[in-house]
Chain A
Amino acid sequence: MKSQITTALEAFADEEDINTLIHKFIVFRLGREEYALEAQYVNEIVGMQHITVVPNVQHYIKGVINLRGKIIPVVDVRLRFALEETEYNDRTCIIITQHDAHGATGLIVDAVVEVVDIDDTSISEPPKTGKGSQSHFLQGMAKHGDIVRMIVNIGSILADEEIVLQ
């Protein structure tokens, strides 16, 4: 009985650590830049799939894929960030995310680089005056040695704010 409780407490303490100090991130690449997405939103990463084009939707929604019987909409993050569109190749990945407000969605990125732990203290505010209006997709900048990774905000990537602007 004692041991059970102790184990439970230890597990709890471990969880506490994760929640307060270090977060896991999935690092992906678009062109030369590296971006980081909090791993808690990521279900899995799959290679390029056959995409069924859905008409009359936002241009960055490429369509839907059939992931083991589930219909998952896919967003081309390049198009979303107003970057140049490129051909998909065998390094192209779809990051399957799960978000409370938007459900399961796939993010098409050039490549997934690695999974990293990022310490809260190494994250700084995103630049206030970004080029154009794209910087609202960022929620912070993480310095790691020489590299700076942009931490993306999944909520604003998926949010349909164009409609509000128009």
Chain B
Amino acid sequence: MESSPQHFSTTLNRLPDMQELVNDFVQEALSGLERTEPLVESLGDPDISTIETNIRVLFRSFHSMKGVAGFLQFVQVQDLTHEAETLFDCIRETPKQQSEQTLGLIYEAFDCLRELIREIQQTAAGVPAQQDYHSPAMCEKTRLLIERLRLAHGVSVQNSPRAAPTPHSADYSLELTYATVLKEHALSLLATIQSFGEAVPPSETVVPTVSSILAILNNPTFKNLVQDHDEARTLMQSASVFADMIVAGDLSIDTAVLITLHSQVDALVLSLESASGTSERIGTSQSTSPFSAKEEFADQAEAHHETALEHQRNGASGVHGTSASERSEIRVETTKLDRLFDLVGELVTMQTMAFNSPDIIGLPLPQFRKSAAMIGKITRQLQSVSMSMRMAPVEVLFVKMRRVVREISGRVGKMVELQMNGADTEMDKNLIDLMFDALVHIIRNSIDHGIEFPHERKERGKAETGTITLSALYEGNDIVISIRDDGGGLDRKRILQRASERGIAPQNTDALTDEDVWNFIFEPGFSTAEVVTDISGRGVGMDVVRQNIERLRGQIHVTSRSGIGTTVTLRIPLTLASMDVMLVRVGTARYAIPLGSVRQSFRPRVGDITTTMDGLEVVRVREALFPVLRLHEMFNQKSDTTDMTGGILVIVESHTRKACIMVDEVLGQQQTVIKSLSQYIGTVSGLSGCMILSDGHIGLILDTEDLIRQAEERTMALAA
């Protein structure tokens, strides 16, 4: 019997669903880390109750990760989570404001765990059931971190006046949690098997639950428990018999075995309950009817859930809402959501097609029109719901910046406070993830170059602590995120000097507006930092940020006032999935121009057009001159007219550069779902994708930035 836990883990390697278990673990662990990391910041909060609430969440999260990692034999993860958990436990026992060092250490643990799990993910994808998931370097890194964590909780135990906690009360409450989870699994297993009646349930329905049960039984805490509990020992015995049956492939499980298992779990819960002296009511009797027990469990889960919510509401100033209710959430792969969104988009298109079908044009059909209008309404609702499912508050992004601000300001020796406005503004979850790097970069720049050192600030009559304000708000179909600092502002002279050194500034710099000057910071390789620090100043900064923002079809702007501060504004569409476009026609082809880049459309008069001797066409609009792109020539498409005065010119703009696109006709505006031109075709010069038009044909979406670039290149080639 002593060797049984070992026995489980070795036999389980032979389970066919090992791969799936590992995948589940990876997903679960990564999302757990993601969810709980923002809580770490609050441990540095002077408010004890906040610490108490959040440390519990952290502890639970790490504890369950440790359990599964132990079961799957990810020793590194198990050890690391164990040490982190011990540290959390110390904090939980004697909650007090945690030092910067401790927070840093905890963050390191998060980072290290993430790396370990990514390694597992990569290895697992290639080689099944491999033992060496981690590189030696990673193992060493983990080992060092574990040492430091040990030191840390050693210290905090010694320092704590109320040391020597009563280990039993803590342990029992944990074991109780285990036992209740175990009970849940046993019940669901029982229900699964019973639902198949006489038939043999397929292995994939049973194995995950069995694995979860074994994961708990194999957990170190639970193993300790086994040693001094008769109930647990009996449970262990029957579970081992049960596991052997499953492993041996005998799935014709006798329900009686399960009922025994279930009642044994019940007994264990009871016994633990009395041992820990808790007044919580968990499973009153050895219920032989599993379904009544199930209801009980549900009640109890409800209660737990309520408590958890209560905790979240009470504490966690600034972090509540990130991990809303655990029970009302369901994790769905984003690809599924994307597929749903696509399908709804198709539904909308097909509906327009059906209702505008030439077959019914001119027919009165009052009843049909009524139903059609209803269907139209429902589809629109469906579309907005499917859109909202992809939305998440930007708070998840903002909260992560606390850590960034704290770390960077600490490293450069400045004092910076982070403020947030409009954190509940929602945007596409995919976009939020893509925005992270850009935000980190801008904040780094703000702290490194913007905010002054405390003594400088004092001299200038400012508060010693600088402020960075993150705000988010909606504007039309865009979300506007701004990062404002109250630092020294951009230095016009230095930027111009740097720009002329790099040969990107014109001769007469006096004529440049401030905005023109600020735009130099987005040039590749531009950096005014005199000393290259490890934080910023390597000159691979803002140009990459701008590229990334533009890839999201967004725009970036800088405003700055000397001595008062700098504001970087990011304007991003709410979602990447749909976009407003202007539909134009050239001959029989229809193209879509992103509405965000359209400035104006007009029919030119003869006097407006100038053709240079190189054949370059330029059109004058008020005082400005724009190069003309004949779409029919670029795309080799037969058009109605080649005479410019017979067509329409659309002025498009992409970061301050403008050009005119010549088309036959402007058809109107609409919102559309963007599709790629297929994997096979890939990217095509001048196009960013395609869309399905209301008649079922395909319209091509123009890549205005690329078109403007092509126009400019042609101008340059002709000039040369």
Contacts and interface: CB of A to CB of B under 8 A. Distances in A.
A148 interface: no
B635 A73 contact: no
B679 A102 contact: yes
B342 interface: yes
B179 interface: no
Given A50-B697, A54-B677, A69-B342, A1 B684 contact: no
A55 B677 contact: no
Contact of A55 (B200, B343, B634, B697): B634
Given A1-B252, A64-B677, A69-B350, A56 B685 contact: yes
A147 to B, nearest CB: 31
A57 B684 contact: yes
A52 interface: yes
A72 B678 contact: yes
Q: Which of A57, A68, A158 has the most chain B CB atoms closer than 10 A to its own CB?
A: A57
Given A1-B200, A64-B690, A57 B698 contact: no
A64 B634 contact: no
A104 to B, nearest CB: 7
A145 interface: no
Interface string A113-127: 000000000000000
Contacts, number: 73
Give the interface SS of chain B, mostly helix, strand, loop or mixed.
mixed
Contacts of A4: 200
Contacts of B589: 52-53
Interface string B327-352: 00000000000000011001001100
A101 B49 CA distance: 56
B676 A53 contact: no
A71 interface: yes
Contact of B678 (A1, A53, A73): A73
Nearest to B588: A53
A132 interface: no
Q: Which of B349, B635, B677, B678 has the most chain A CB atoms closer than 10 A to its own CB?
A: B678
B708 interface: no
A108 interface: no
A130 interface: no
A53 B692 CA distance: 14
Nearest to B251: A1
Contacts of B699: 52
B372 to A, nearest CB: 20
Contact of A71 (B635, B685, B698): B698
A5 B466 CA distance: 72
B636 interface: yes
Interface in B692-709: 692, 696-700
A134 to B, nearest CB: 20
A61 interface: yes
A96 to B, nearest CB: 12
A128 to B, nearest CB: 29
Interface in B308-367: 342-343, 346, 349-350
A156 interface: no
A54 B681 contact: yes
Interface residues of A, number: 23
A56 B346 CA distance: 27
B627 interface: no
A1 B637 CA distance: 66
Contacts of A158: 680
Contacts of A53: 589, 637
A73 B252 CA distance: 50
Contact of A52 (B342, B346, B690): B690
B697 A52 contact: yes
Contacts of B350: 69
A55 B636 contact: yes
A69 B346 contact: yes
Interface string A39-58: 00000000000101111110
B678 A103 contact: yes
Interface string A55-87: 111000100111011011100000000000000
Contacts of A50: 696-697
A66 B637 contact: no
Contacts of A71: 675-678, 690, 698
B700 A69 contact: no
A102 B686 contact: no
Nearest to A103: B679
A66 B680 contact: no
Contacts of B678: 64, 71-73, 103-105
Given A71-B690, A103-B679, A104-B678, A52 B696 contact: no
A108 to B, nearest CB: 14
B265 interface: no
Contacts of A56: 635, 684-686
Given A69-B349, A71-B678, A55 B684 contact: yes
Contact of B698 (A64, A68, A102, A103): A64
Contact of B681 (A57, A66, A68, A69): A57
A54 B675 contact: no
Given A69-B350, A71-B675, A71-B698, A105 B680 contact: yes
Interface in B230-288: 252
Q: Which of B675, B679, B686 has the most chain A CB atoms closer than 10 A to its own CB?
A: B679
B200 A66 contact: no
B198 to A, nearest CB: 11
B394 interface: no
B692 A54 contact: no
A68 B342 CA distance: 12
B42 to A, nearest CB: 47
A132 to B, nearest CB: 24
Contacts of B676: 71
B684 A54 contact: yes
B187 interface: no
B679 A66 contact: no
Nearest to B675: A71
Contacts of B628: none
Q: Which 9 A-B pairs have the closest CB atoms?
A: A103-B679, A69-B346, A55-B635, A52-B698, A73-B678, A73-B680, A102-B680, A73-B681, A105-B680
23 contacts: A1-B200, A1-B252, A4-B200, A52-B697, A52-B699, A53-B589, A54-B677, A54-B684, A54-B687, A55-B634, A55-B637, A56-B684, A61-B681, A64-B677, A64-B678, A64-B681, A69-B343, A69-B349, A71-B675, A71-B676, A71-B698, A73-B680, A73-B681
Given A50-B696, A72-B678, 13 more contacts: A4-B200, A52-B589, A52-B699, A52-B700, A53-B589, A53-B637, A55-B636, A56-B686, A61-B680, A64-B677, A64-B681, A69-B349, A105-B680
